[in-house]
């Protein structure tokens, strides 16, 4: 676990439609930075799902052919206000964050397009977007966990893990979406 992760300040808010516009603005900036190296730029995570309670931090997924291209963009990302955390989330990925006054505004996850986590993130997002009852249930869980662990982000995340594993399974079993092997 990264230093400071357990006590990272966070909050869970009701869905804000402005998050979609914030994503579009940030995606435009990232597209200009990465140009042809970005195969796709996707809004993922809870802020990408209308109606879902969320931390007010955008999660953005950029897919590339090969992670080695990221090295050539680190200076430009720094000038644009991003901090490089490296291989933070999982192997064969890169994470950049943007913060203001110690408040995290966005996480930019960069993965090779064929990475297993890319498909997982997209299938869960798309499943939630088409299943309002699931959004309601997940929002309730997030609010309850935040109320119980407002100063312990690590425990908040761990307590969501089982739900997220089950959510991926339900998303994979949905007839309306393609599936991902966990």
DSSP H helical ranges for the chain: 18-34, 74-79, 116-129, 132-148, 153-173
Beta strands 103-112; 58-64: pairing state: parallel
Spell out the domain ranges in the chain.
18-173
Fold of 18-173: Beta Polymerase; domain 2 (3.30.460)
| Residue 125 confidence class, pLDDT cut points 50, 70, 90 | very high
How far is 130 from 115, CA to CA, in rounded Å? 24
3-state SS, residue 99: strand
pLDDT at 18 over 50: yes
Q: In what order do the strands lie in the sheet with 40-44?
A: 40-44, 58-64, 103-112, 94-100, 82-86
pLDDT digits (tens, 9 = 90+) for 67-101: 999 999 999 999 999 999 999 878 899 999 999 98
Looking at residue 52, what is its pLDDT?
98
CB 15 within 8 A of CB 50: yes
- Residue 96 near residue 110, CB atoms below 8 Å: yes
DSSP 46: G
117 and 93 Cβ atoms separated by less than 8 Å: yes
Mean pLDDT across 97-117: 95
Tens of pLDDT, residues 59-73: 999 999 999 999 999
The pLDDT value given to residue 175: 67
Looking at every residue in the chain, the average pLDDT score rounds to 92
CA angle, 145 as apex, 61 and 165 as ends, to 5°?
50
pLDDT at 4 over 50: no
**And the tokens for 151?**
């100063």
Q: Does the pLDDT of residue 179 top 60, yes or no?
A: no
Q: Which of 125, 114, 148 is nearest to 48 (CA)?
A: 125
């Amino acid at each position: 676990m990264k230093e400071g992760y357990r006590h990272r300040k966070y909050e869970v808010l009701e869905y804000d439609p402005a998050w979609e516009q914030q994503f579009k603005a940030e995606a435009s900036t990232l597209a200009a930075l990465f140009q042809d190296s970005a195969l796709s730029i996707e809004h993922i995570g809870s802020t990408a799902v209308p109606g879902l309670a969320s931390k007010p931090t955008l999660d953005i997924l950029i897919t590339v052919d090969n992670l080695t291209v990221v090295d050539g963009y680190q200076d430009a990302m720094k000038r644009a206000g991003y901090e490089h955390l490296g291989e933070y989330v999982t192997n064969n990925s890169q994470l950049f964050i943007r913060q203001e006054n110690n408040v995290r505004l966005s996480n930019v996850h960069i993965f090779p397009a064929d990475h297993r986590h890319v498909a997982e993130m997209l299938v869960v997002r798309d499943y939630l977007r088409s299943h309002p009852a699931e959004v309601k249930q997940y929002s309730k869980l997030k609010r309850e966990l935040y109320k119980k662990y407002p100063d312990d982000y690590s425990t908040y995340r761990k307590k969501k893990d089982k739900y997220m594993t089950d959510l991926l399974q339900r998303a994979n079993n949905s007839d309306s979406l393609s599936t991902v092997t966990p």
